[in-house]
Each structure stands twice: as structure tokens, then as C-alpha cells.
Amino acid sequence: MKNLKYYKNTFLIVILLFVFAGCKKDVVKQQEDSNPISPRIFDIGRVFSGARIINAGDTAKFHGVLFTPANKVKVSWLVNNVQASTDTAFNFKPTTGGEFTIKLLVTYNGDTTSRSTKVLVNPATYTFKPYTNITMAYLTSAGTAANINWNIVTHVAYKVGLVSPDGGLDVSAGEVNQTADELVARSHINGVPILLGISGRLSGIDGWAIYETNDFGTAIIDATKRHALVQKVKAYVAKKRMDGVDIMMTDINSGTAPDNITAIGPFLTELRAALPATDIITVTATVNYQHWGYPDLSAADWVNIHAFEDNIHIGPGAPVGQSSSYDFMVAGAAIWTQFHLPANKIVIGIPAFGLRYDALDADGNNASWGSYSYDTYSNILAFDPAANGKEETNMGFGIYFNGVPLVTKKAAYAKSAGFKGCYLWAEDYDVQGANSLLSAIFNAQK
């Protein structure tokens, strides 16, 4: 009887344990139902912290992402909304160029959370789109891909290379937020050649000469420094997969300006020999009296002429007015066709900035060397929303600029006279939409 009682008690305890366990499960379920656990993503490696830019064939790795509740969530990686993996980590290795959206979905108990980012892929091969006349967007080192309307541009030049007197080349501005990489990738995706613009120090918004600076000239006059600069340019163009170089040698405002200008000849020759035969090489040149000093530039694919800023509306007592007129552009272009190159080797420059007067003398003329400045077309439009149809508005004591009608007239002339096209300095001073100066150039040359 004693043993029987023991077994009965043991059996009762087992039954109670099962009942208790079942009750515990019910309580847990009730708690989960009352307080559902939402899936969470912990981006420890910050793989979703920003867009990435890679070359086709390279791999964008999405590793180190953690999830809760651990080992219970369903994971799905999507590329442009198509499932590509269900692993906890993902390697994206595209074979074609383009812009891709990478999205991570994490699901638990019917609830889903997500993260997404962009991967911009520079294609391994690309074909340049056809064009009749060049519409080139020339960006300063502060420009970005967001400044460009890819539907209207045929070429891009990015003035990111800063030449030092010792033959050095500073391209650090292009590394900020992968600006240079994005420009190259988007250019190639859109079938547009992109050139590395190189210069010495520039004067500011107008992007031209500084008094008594010889940075670029000093580098290319000396054969050893010139060779070092050529090799640095070659390496950077290859690394970034750019399509050529524009030589913007602006050391033309000093006592050694003639020597600086003459040195463009051997620099162009050496650069042409160093770069692939398919690369584009251009030179940006002045249209003032110094045009006589330029060497034979026929080895360049074309010459960009700085056919704006007549310099007669600055300085003490200078009359206020339009320094980048239609007539000045036509006369400057004629200098190059009469004495240097045929029109089909010349791209005409058009400004996207204005000359602003900050003080006038008693006669209503410019007061001094320090009483004028420049401002961008986008800032002019912000001040006067109707400025797109004008050439002057009352910023300061008056600012003179090229609006859409004048730019249209200039570009139409370039086309009718057989020039290779036009470039805008600078496209990051421009605006998008109907008031865009680059759009006016493109439309006039269609």
C-alpha cells in the first residue's frame, strides 16, 4: 500500500507539471499577443548609411547587419524590388551599369521592417550618344552631378584638378562625398564623355586669371615638372576612368604670361602621347590680345574660347555695362577663326554669372578696383525671378549678365557660323528647368 501511494503521488505530480507547462505556454502566447514583438534591424556596420558608387564587376558588401528577435525573422534582400537573397548578409556584384536600389526586408509574425540604399554602378563599357553640336557643362570644383540635366548635355568638364608650381595635382575636392566618382558614373550611364579640367588658382566666380600667379606656368615650363604633372594627370584620368582632359592654363596676368602660354605647346604634346588615343584633350584659351602668344593647338580635339568678360567695364572710372555682350563674343570668335583654327575646332564660352557694381563714383561709373564683384546666375534669379529674360537687374548698384534671350542668340550664332558648339561656365551657377542657360544653348543648337 505504501508503494502504491508513492506511485499515485508521482503520477499526480507529472500531470500537474504538464498542466502547468500548458498554462505557461498560454500565458506567454497571451503576453506576446498583447505585446507583439516587432522585428528590428541593427545596422552595426552602417551599410545603409549612404549611397555607394562602384564599377561594374566590383562588389558592394552588406554585412554585419543584426536582427531581433534573433534567429526567428525572415530575411529578404531585394534589388530593384526583385528578390536576390534570403541570407543574413548580401553581396551585390553587378555586371552592368546603372542605379540600383538595394532593399532589406525583415519579417516576424506578419510584421515587416525595412532599410534601403542606392548603389550607382559605373558601366564597364559604354557608348557616347550622338550629337551635332557640343553643349558642354563646365563644372567648378564645387559642382556635382545634381547640377546637370543629362538629357541636354553632350560633354562634361569638371575643374577639379589644381596644379601647383612643383608639378603637383590636387584633386581632393572630388573625393568629398565621392563627387568625382558619381560624375563619372552618371556621365557614362548617360553616354556622355567627362573631362578632367586642370588649372592653377582661379580668381573666383569668373574662373579666370589672378594677378601675378604662375602656378600652372611654372609647372609646365620646366621639363621635369611638366613630365611629373603629365604622369599625375594620366594616373588620375585612368583611375577615375575619365575620358580626357581640358587644359585651363590661366596664368596670363603676370610678367611671365608669354612663357606660360607658349609652354602649353609641349605640355599638350606630351599629354597627347601619354593618354590613350581615344581620349579627348582640349585647351581653354583667351580671346584678348594674348591670343597671339598661343602655340599651334591643332593637336587638341578642340579649343574652348573664353569669349566673355571684355574687361572694359571694370577698374576706376570704367563705364557700367554688359561685359559679356554678343558683339564681344562674335569678335573674339573671329580672332580664332582668322588666325588660329577653323570654326569646327572651336567651342565658344558663355557665362552663367554677372558683373556686379558695389559702388559708383560721382559720374555713375565704377568707383575703384575693389568696387565690383561677380555673382552667379542662380543667385541673380533668386534676387529677381524675372531676370531670366533680362541682361541687367538692380542687385547692388546694378548687375549685368546673360539671360536666356542673349544666350539663345549667342548659341544660334555659334551653330549658324559652323562652330563646334558652346560651353557654359559654370554649370553649377545655372538652374534647372525653363530658365536654364544650358537648356537655352542646347535648344538653340538642335
Position 220 scores a pLDDT of 98
Q: C-alpha 229: how far from its chain's center?
A: 23
C-alpha to C-alpha distances, 108 to 36, 40, 90, nearest whole angstrom: 10, 9, 20
Q: Which residue has the cell 507529472?
A: 14
pLDDT tens for 210-269 read 999 999 999 999 999 999 999 999 999 999 999 999 999 999 999 999 999 999 999 999
The CATH architecture one would assign to domain 134-445 is Alpha-Beta Barrel (3.20)
pLDDT tens for 262-301 read 999 999 999 999 999 999 999 999 999 999 999 999 999 9
What does the DSSP assignment read for 142-166? T--GGG--TTT-SEEEEEEEEE-TT
Give exposure, 62-83, as e/b (b: 16+ Cβ within 10 Å): beebebeeeeebebbbbbeeee
Domain with CATH 2.60.40.10 in the chain: 40-122
**Average pLDDT along the chain:** 93
Position 16 scores a pLDDT of 44
Question: pLDDT at residue 209 above 70?
Answer: yes
Report whether 73 contacts 106 (CB < 8 A): yes
pTM of the model: 0.89
How far is residue 47's CA from residue 55's CA, in Å, rounded to a whole number? Answer: 18
pLDDT tens for 422-432 read 999 999 999 99
All cell numbers assigned to 57: 564587376
pLDDT tens for 2-51 read 454 444 555 544 454 444 455 455 554 454 555 568 999 999 989 999 89
Domain with CATH 3.20.20.80 in the chain: 134-445
From 3.40.50.2300, 3.60.15.10, 3.40.50.2000, 2.60.40.10, which CATH number describes the 40-122 domain?
2.60.40.10
